[in-house]
């Protein structure tokens, strides 16, 4: 799905014009972009995967693909737990990548185990019991994803509104205590994405609706209705390069 767009720096330099090209996101977080004048760029996304998945959910909701929206929002929460696990482990000083990767492999195929790891690392970090996604919200997700239920707009709206609030509350807490570890993990992921690229690249972070790297004052400043009302183009203006 084409979610973001990029300005061509070559066109800006050569013609003094702003050429904007929409581009697809993918699993690698590395996108090839060709502007209308044929200039090729490689964009490395400086966003966490859970941020991209939530954005895909919003896009699907806006465009009427309600089942797909539920699937993306649910995946966003799962990848958010993974991201937090990395952040908490980094914060505790365990920076050996091999040990982390080997331990992750033990739970990589089981989202329930990952959620359990998140719960206890959250307890360790904040000395409080983490909030659980409400049972009726989980039940709705399971019915859509596992039983093939076809949801209506209002159900998916309520589902995503709840998850938006759920994620924002945890992000605010993590942001206050773990800022340097958030940056460490982000830089590690960007470095991984860029490692095999041989040609010049443009690293870009986009102002996704859920965004753990933006300043604490900006996190959750929009309520869910305001997020939905802003078009995906307005949300996804690049914030750095
Ligand atoms: Zn160009």
CA of 190 to the centre of ligand 1 (A): 24
Tens of pLDDT, residue by residue over 134-190, are 999 999 999 999 999 999 999 999 999 999 999 999 999 999 999 999 999 999 999
CA nearest to 159, candidates 83, 54, 49: 54
- 30 pLDDT higher than 50: yes
What is the CA(11)–ligand 1 centre distance, in A? Answer: 4
Task: Decide: 57 and 69 in contact? Cβ < 8 Å.
Answer: yes
C-alpha to C-alpha distances, 121 to 76, 88, 115, 124, 130, nearest whole angstrom: 19, 7, 10, 5, 10
pLDDT at 230: 86
If you measure from the C-alpha of residue 37 to the centroid of ligand 1, how many angstroms do you get, rounded to a whole number?
A: 5
Distance 58 CA to ligand 1 centre (A): 29
| Centre of ligand 1 from the C-alpha of residue 17, in Å | 9
Q: How far is the CA of 201 from the centre of ligand 1 (A)?
A: 14
Q: Please give the model's pTM, rounded to 2 decimal places.
A: 0.94
Cross-strand bridge partners of residue 4: 23
* Per-residue pLDDT tens over the stretch 78-102: 999 999 999 999 999 999 999 999 9
pLDDT at 133: 98
CA of 22 relative to ligand 1 center, distance in Å: 13
Closest by CA to 144, choosing from 75, 76, 62, 68, is: 68
Per-residue confidence (pLDDT) for residue 241, from 0 to 100: 40
Distance 225 CA to ligand 1 centre (A): 36
The alpha carbon of 15 and the centre of ligand 1 are apart by a number of angstroms equal to 9
Residues in the chain, how many?
A: 241
Percent of the chain with pLDDT over 90: 84
């Amino acid at each position: 799905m084409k979610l973001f767009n990029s300005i061509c720096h070559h066109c800006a330099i050569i013609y003094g014009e702003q050429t904007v090209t929409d581009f697809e996101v993918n699993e690698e977080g590395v996108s090839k972009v060709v502007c209308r004048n044929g200039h090729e760029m490689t964009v490395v996304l400086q966003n966490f995967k859970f941020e991209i998945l939530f954005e895909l959910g919003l896009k699907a909701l806006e465009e009427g693909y309600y089942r797909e929206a539920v699937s993306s929002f649910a995946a966003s929460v799962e990848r958010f737990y993974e991201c937090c696990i990395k952040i908490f482990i980094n914060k505790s000083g365990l920076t050996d990548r091999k040990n982390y990767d080997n331990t992750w492999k033990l739970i990589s195929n089981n989202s329930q185990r990952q959620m359990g790891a998140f719960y206890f690392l959250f307890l360790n970090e904040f000395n409080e019991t983490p909030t659980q996604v409400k049972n009726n919200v989980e039940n709705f997700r399971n019915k859509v994803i596992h039983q093939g239920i076809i949801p209506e707009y209002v159900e998916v709206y309520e589902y995503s509104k709840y998850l938006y609030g759920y994620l924002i509350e945890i992000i605010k807490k993590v942001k206050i205590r773990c800022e340097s570890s958030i940056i460490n993990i982000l830089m590690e992921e960007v470095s991984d994405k860029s490692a095999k690229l041989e040609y010049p690249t443009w690293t870009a972070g986009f102002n996704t609706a859920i965004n753990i790297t933006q300043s604490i004052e900006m996190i959750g400043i929009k309520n869910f209705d305001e997020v939905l009302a802003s078009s995906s183009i307005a949300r996804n203006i690049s914030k750095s390069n």
